[in-house]
Amino acid sequence: MSSNNRGVDIRSTQIPMTVALALKRNQTRQLPLRWITAEITLITDLRRLIYQNWSWINTSDINMSEETGKRTLWTKLHHEDARMNP
């Protein structure tokens, strides 16, 4: 097990954080960007991102789906096993 001088395992450091995401609207309608928040847990070895888990999005806004053109309620985003390797 790798560790730094404080005894912390640097291969599986978990960093919970809150971020702001912008959903881009249709430019022809010239609507403002919609801001939502999501809590994300990142696992890193301090050199690269190993695992990313988007657990939830805190919003109840109604947004237009670009794929279907229908109004969709964005209440939850659950994305697991998004692995990014160098």
- Which pLDDT score is estimated for 13? 58
Residue-averaged pLDDT of the chain: 49
Give a yes or no: residue 74 inside a domain.
Answer: yes
pLDDT of residue 58 exceeding 50: no
Query: The pTM is what?
Result: 0.25
Q: What pLDDT shows up at residue 1?
A: 45
As a whole number, mean pLDDT of residues 43-52 equals 59
Pick the more confident residue, 42 or 67: 42
Residue 48 belongs to some domain of the structure? yes
- Residue 4 within any structural domain of the chain: no
* Tokens standing for residue 39: 């809590």
Q: Where are the beta strands (DSSP E) in the chain?
A: 13-23, 34-44, 49-58, 62-64, 71-73, 79-82
Counted domains in the chain? 1
Q: What are phi and psi of 15, to 5 degrees?
A: -125, 95
The tens digit of pLDDT for each residue in 21-38 reads 544 444 555 445 454 555
Domain that holds residue 39: 13-82
Q: Is 2 within the bounds of a domain? A: no
